[in-house]
């Protein structure tokens, strides 16, 4: 999904969350986490290119066409989601963490629904087992074109 789509969806989810949470900090955390999970794409770019992706066009080109690179995407992971929600319930973390978890969950579910991702693609353990190869992340036939998710 494109960043603008994540901004719109995260804004809507945060507005609904605000009705319940009534905490500006939690609502801002929800909004920002729903967008900035995608910073892990920047980390993948940096690991491969040894430079910061200072242009969005360069980042998109990397995501779509740099077949030699690996996709670590440490934040696009169901395991991280389980850790966050587990910590909230087990440790009684506050509303800011619930906001982060809601934004994070919304982002992952939207990416999963609208991007050509393999059903197991967002399992970090599955990607690690396959040495973070691009081809295990995308559905067959889509590994050369990814969205700007």
Measured from the CB atom, is 90 or 113 closer to Zn ion?
A: 113
C-alpha 3 chain-centroid distance:
11
Burial of 57 (C-beta count, 10 Å sphere; 0-12/13-18/19+): exposed
Spatial distance between the Cα atoms of 120 and 99, rounded to a whole number of angstroms? 25
> According to the binding rule CB under 5 A, does residue 44 interact with Zn ion?
no
Q: Does residue 149 touch Zn ion according to CB under 5 A?
A: yes
In the list 38, 62, 102, 127, the residue contacting Zn ion (rule: CB under 5 A) is: 38
Number of residues this chain uses to bind Zn ion (CB under 5 A): 3
CB of 22 to Zn ion, least distance (A): 28
Closest residue to Zn ion in the complex (CB): 149
Q: Which stretch binds Zn ion (CB under 5 A): 9-17, 53-61, 107-115, 133-141?
A: 107-115
SS3 content of the chain, % helix, strand, coil (to 5): 65, 0, 35
Residue of 104, 111, 121, 146 that binds Zn ion (CB under 5 A): 111
Give residues in contact with Zn ion (CB under 5 A): 38, 111, 149
């Amino acid at each position: 999904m494109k960043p603008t789509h994540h901004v719109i969806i995260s804004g809507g989810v945060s507005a609904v969350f605000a009705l319940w949470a009534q905490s500006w900090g939690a609502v801002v955390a929800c909004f920002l986490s729903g967008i900035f999970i995608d910073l892990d794409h920047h980390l993948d770019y940096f690991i491969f290119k040894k430079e910061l992706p200072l242009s969005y066009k360069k980042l998109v080109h990397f995501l779509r066409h740099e077949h030699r690179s690996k996709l670590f995407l440490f934040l696009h992971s169901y395991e991280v989601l389980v850790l966050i929600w587990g910590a909230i319930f087990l440790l009684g973390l506050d509303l800011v963490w619930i906001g982060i978890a809601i934004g994070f969950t919304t982002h992952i579910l939207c990416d999963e629904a609208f991007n050509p991702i393999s059903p197991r693609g967002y399992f970090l353990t599955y990607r690690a087992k396959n040495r973070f190869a691009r081809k295990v992340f995308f559905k067959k036939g889509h590994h050369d074109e990814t969205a700007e998710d």
